[in-house]
Structure 1
Amino acid sequence: MKNLFLIATVLAFTSLANADICGKTDDRALSFDSKVGRLAKEGEHQGCAATLVGRSCVITVGACAEDRDYVEFNPPVSIAGIPQASTPEDTYYVKKGSAVFKQKGIGSQWAVMQLEPNRVTNKFAGDVQGFYQVAHRKYQNYEPIRVVGYGYALNDTDYVRSGDVAANTFGDSMNFAQQVSYGRLVKAGIFLIPEIVEHDADTSYGSWGAPIISQITNEIVGISTHGGCQAKYVVKAGARYTNSGTATFGSRSFRNAIAACLAK
C-alpha cells in the first residue's frame, strides 16, 4: 500500500505540459479525421483536441474544460506555421455549463462536454462529422494504436536543436493543425490503477486530449494527457519512457460522464 501511495503521488504531480516525441524521429504526419476537432478560445485557432463520441458529445482533457469556446472540425493545414480557421459550417460552440471533468494527475484528467448545433446549418456535429465508439472492455498491452491531435510542430524545440530528435518535414504545415502518429498501447492499466494507459505514439504541446484509437477495433481506448517519452528529468513508475493518458475502459467516472452526456 505504501508503494501504491507513492506511485499515485508521483503521477498526480507529473506535468500535463510534457507531451513528448518518442524515439529519435518525429513520426507525426498530417491527418484529416473529421471526428477529431480543435477546442479553442474565441478568436484563437489552437488549443486541445476534442473528439466526437455522439451527436453532440465530445471528450477532451480536464485542463481545457472551462475556458474554451468552440470546436473547429476539418481545419486547413497551417500556413508558414500559423494555424488556420475552420469554416463557420465546421465550427460548433460548446454548450455553456455542460462540461463535466476531472483535472488531477495521470488517469484522473478528462472532460466530457456538449456542443450546440452549428449556427449556420443548425445540424449536430456528430450527424455531419461522424463520431467514434468508446471502448468499455480492457485492451491488451502492445496493441497497435494511433493518436490524433493538434500539437506544436515547429522544428525549434530543444530536442530538435540538440539533435536528439530529427526535424519533421511537415512541421510548418502541421503546426497546431491535425496530425496523427502511430504506436502501441504499452500498458493498459498500471500497478492496480486501471485508469491509466501508457503509449509510445508521438505527441507535443497542444496534443492534450488527443484520442488514443485502437487500430484493431477503431474504438477510443483513452485520451492522451501527459508526456514522458523524453523524460530525462524524471523516472516514471516502472522506468518506462512512455506518454500517458486516461483509459476510457478503466476510469469508471469517465465512462459514467460519457454515458450521461449521450443520454441527454
Structure 2
Amino acid sequence: MDSGPVESALSPVDHEVVYSTVVLVPGAQWLRLLFGDVRLAGDPAGNGSYLLITSLADGDAQVLNAEHLGQWRNTSAYFNGDAVLVELVSYGGTGPSVLVLDGVMAGEALGQVVADLCGADDRVLSSDPRVARHPAAGCTAFMINDVNSQFLTAGHCGAVAQQLIQFNVPLSNGQGNIVNPPASEQYAVEPSSSQGFDGPVGDDWHYFGVFPNSVTGLQPYQAQAARFTMALPPPSPTGQSIRVTGYGTVEPPVPPQWNQAQTTDVGPMGQVVGTSIRYFTDTSSGNSGSPIIHENSGQCVGIHTNAGCGLGGNRGTTFANSGLQTALANPLGICRAGQGPVVPPLYVIGDQMNHFGTADTATGTFGKIVQVGAKWQGLAYSTDAGILYAVNTDRQLFTIDPNSGAATLLGTLSGSPGTITAMAYDRVNKRIVGMLQNTGQLAAIDPNALTATGFGASTFGNIGGLAFDPASGKLFGVDDTAAGTRLVSFDPNTGAKTTIGALGAGINDCNGMAYVDAEDALFTIDAGSENLLRVDRQTGAATVVGNTGSLFGAAYGMEAIPSLPPPGCPGDLDGDNATGQADLGILLAAYGTCEGDPLYNPVPAELAEPLNCVDQGDLGVLLANYGCGG
C-alpha cells in the first residue's frame, strides 16, 4: 500500500487527516504493521506529520512521528483484533508526506508447550511491575538496578529484529491467544544498547535498553516505579527458595487465559555450579529471560534460560558471569546515558532517558541530576527572578530546582496556538520568550498569567533552540533545514529573523541552545552525533567540544545559569538599588584592567567571568540591565 505524496492545505497551526486506510487480516488475533519508505513532513518536535493507528477491536491507539518510526524500526505496536485504522495526519504548510505499508504480522493461536515443570504446574497469576513480556522472541525480560533502570533477558532471546517489550499484560482469551496491552505499555528496544551472549548454561544473557514510550514519553521505570536489585545467589541451597516470574505457556488443566500472561512459582533452590544455578521451580516455554528471584531476600540472582527438572533442576545464568559483569560496568547506547559528572552552569533537560542534568563545557559529557517528566522542549532562566523554567510538548510550564531537578507544575499555557519548541530569557525586556513552532513566531511567555502571546512576523523554519546574548541584546536560535542546521538571530522586539550561517557539514538536528556567560559563548547539542558544540556568533560555524555520552532526540531544552547571579539590579555597582549612569562610569573607569593593575576594581569584575578582569562580559551584563530600578 502506497499513499503517494499527500499534504494539508490548512493553515500552519491546523492539522487534518490527509490519508487513511483500514488494514484487515480476517480472523487474526492481533496485528503489527511493517512500514516501508514512509516520509513524514515537518519537525517531529512540533509540526511534524504523524501516523495515528487505532485498533478497531478495542480502540487502543498509537501515535508515530518521524522520530518514533525510527525508534520502532518502521513497525507499530501490537494491536488486538484483525483490523486497524491507519491515518496520516499533517499540518498545513509542511509539505508532502508519503505512507508506505510493506506488510503485516498477524497473530494466530500459539502452541502451548510445557517442557520444564517440576511435577504438577503450581504457578499462579502474578502482577510484578518489574517483569515484561518480550513477545517477538517469545520470552520474558525484567528491569534491573543498573545505572538507568534498563533490562536483562536470556541471550537466546536477544537477537530478534524489531524487538519490543510489554508491561501490564492482560490475560489471554478463552482459546489461549495472547491479548496485548495498550500501546502506552509497549516500548521499542534501543538497538545500540544491546550486549549479550547466546552460550551454554551459565553463559546465556542479554543486556539492553529501550526508548521512551511513543504515547506517554515515559521510560519504563517512570511508569512502573519498581526494579530488581541484582545480587549473587547464596553459596549453599540449604533452606533457600527460588521464585521465577514470567510469561510462560500453559496446557490443560491450567486455564487457557493464563497462556503467556504473567505467572509465578516458588521452589527449592538447587546447586550453584560456576556461573549457573539450578532450582526446582515451575517454568515453561516463554519463561526464558525471567528473573531468578531469591525468595528469602527478594533479590534477583540470575536469568532463567534452560529447562531441566529431570536433570537436576531448571537452570539459569548468575550475575557472577564475567561477560555480563563487564557489560553492566560498560553500558552502551541508552543504558549509559547521563553518566558524566554534574558540572554547572550549562543545564540540559530531556535526553531519551528524560534526564535533567548538566553538559560540561570543557569535555561535552552529560551528567544526570535526576530523571523527571517527559516530552521536554525548552528551558529558560530568569536572571531577575532567579527561577529556572521548563516547558513540554503539551505547553505545560514548570519551575525546575537546578540542584535537585524537582519539577513543579505551574499550569498549561494559553494564548497563541502551537507547540513551544524553545525558550530563552530576554534580559533587556525582562521576559521569557518562546518559539511557536507551527508558524516560527516568537511568543512572550508570562509565567504568572500562564499565557504565550505571539509577536512579530511568522518566520517559519524549524527553530529548536533559543538563547539570549546579553552582550549584543540579540536572541540566537538554531534552525534545522534540509541543507543542515543554521544559526539565526532574532530581534527580541520585532521578531525579525536574520540567517547567519551553517553550523557545519553533517550537523542537521540541533534542538536546544544556551548562552554561557562565563565563556561568552553559545552552545548546542547535535542529536545526530550526540556532540556538544560551541557555536560562533559571527559565522554560525560550530566546533566540537566533546561527546555527551547520552542520546538526544527531536526535543530537549538547554539553559545556562550565570555562576554569580547578582542580587537586586544586576549591574548596581554603587549600592543604590538601581543600574544607571553612575554604575556605567564606575565600570568604564576600570574597563580593560585585571587584578594587579592600578585602576582595577573588583566590584564590576564580578558581574561576569572571568572574575579577575573588567571586560566586555561585565559591560554586557550592565548594559543589559541598564535602567533597572530607575
Gapped runs of 5+ residues in structure 2? 1-112, 338-630
Of the candidates 297, 316, 340, which is equivalent to residue 245 of structure 1? 316
8 Å contact from structure 1 (residues 56, 116) kept in 2: no
The structure whose residues are more often helix, as a share, is: 1
Aligned residues: 216
Of the candidates 114, 118, 125, which is equivalent to residue 22 of structure 1? 118
Residue 126, structure 1, aligned to residue 214, structure 2? no
Matched with 2:251 is: 154
Of the candidates 304, 321, 343, which is equivalent to residue 224 of structure 1? 304
Residue 72 (structure 1) shift: 0.2
Residue 139 (structure 1) shift: 4.5
Residue 64, structure 1, aligned to residue 135, structure 2? no
Residue 259 (structure 1) shift: 3.4
Of the candidates 47, 50, 53, which is equivalent to residue 144 of structure 2? 53
TM-aligned CA distance change 1:18 to 1:256, over 3 Å:
farther
Gapped runs of 5+ residues in structure 1? 1-16, 156-166
Return the alpha-carbon distance in structure 1 between the equivalents of residues 261 and 135 of structure 2: 12
TM-score (norm 1): 0.76
Superposition RMSD in Å: 1.9
Partner AA of 2:307 in structure 1: G
Return the alpha-carbon distance in structure 2 between the equivalents of residues 133 and 40 of structure 1: 24
Matched with 2:237 is: 141
The correspondence of residues 80-99 of structure 1 with structure 2, limited to 5 A, is: 80=174, 81-99=176-194
Partner AA of 1:89 in structure 2: S
Residue 181 (structure 1) shift: 0.8
8 Å contact from structure 2 (residues 149, 227) kept in 1: no
Matched with 1:10 is: none
Residue 32 (structure 1) shift: 0.7
Matched with 1:196 is: 276
Residue 116 (structure 1) shift: 0.7
2:329 is paired with a residue whose SS is: helix
Deviations along 1:110-143, whole A, 9 cap, x unmatched? 1000111111111111122121111146453141
The structure whose residues are more often strand, as a share, is: 2
Residue 184, structure 1, aligned to residue 268, structure 2? yes
Return the alpha-carbon distance in structure 2 between the equivalents of residues 148 and 253 of structure 1: 24
Partner AA of 2:326 in structure 1: N
Matched with 1:31 is: 126
Return the alpha-carbon distance in structure 1 between the equivalents of residues 322 and 114 of structure 2: 25
2:228 is paired with a residue whose SS is: coil
Matched with 1:173 is: 257
Which gives a bigger RCO, structure 1 or 2 (Cα 8 Å, sep 6+)? 1
1:22 is paired with a residue whose SS is: coil
Deviations along 1:69-88, whole A, 9 cap, x unmatched? 11000100111111110111
Larger Rg: 2
1:94 is paired with a residue whose SS is: strand
Residue 255, structure 1, aligned to residue 255, structure 2? no
8 Å contact from structure 2 (residues 114, 249) kept in 1: no
8 Å contact from structure 1 (residues 18, 226) kept in 2: no
Residue 107 (structure 1) shift: 0.4
Residue 97 (structure 1) shift: 2.7
Return the alpha-carbon distance in structure 2 between the equivalents of residues 53 and 187 of structure 1: 24
Partner AA of 1:185 in structure 2: M
Q: Percent identity?
A: 30
8 Å contact from structure 2 (residues 131, 140) kept in 1: yes
Return the alpha-carbon distance in structure 1 between the equivalents of residues 132 and 235 of structure 2: 25
Matched with 2:287 is: 207
TM-score (norm 2): 0.33
Matched with 1:101 is: 196
Matched with 2:503 is: none
TM-aligned CA distance change 1:146 to 1:211, over 3 Å:
same
Residue 219 (structure 1) shift: 1.1
Return the alpha-carbon distance in structure 2 between the equivalents of residues 200 and 136 of structure 1: 18
Return the alpha-carbon distance in structure 1 between the equivalents of residues 115 and 154 of structure 2: 13
1:173 is paired with a residue whose SS is: helix
Return the alpha-carbon distance in structure 2 between the equivalents of residues 187 and 18 of structure 1: 23
8 Å contact from structure 1 (residues 49, 60) kept in 2: yes
8 Å contact from structure 1 (residues 152, 175) kept in 2: yes
Partner AA of 1:50 in structure 2: A
Return the alpha-carbon distance in structure 1 between the equivalents of residues 297 and 326 of structure 2: 21
8 Å contact from structure 1 (residues 18, 227) kept in 2: no
8 Å contact from structure 1 (residues 152, 176) kept in 2: yes
1:257 is paired with a residue whose SS is: helix
Partner AA of 1:256 in structure 2: T
Deviations along 1:31-72, whole A, 9 cap, x unmatched? 11111001122xxxx711100014441000111111151100
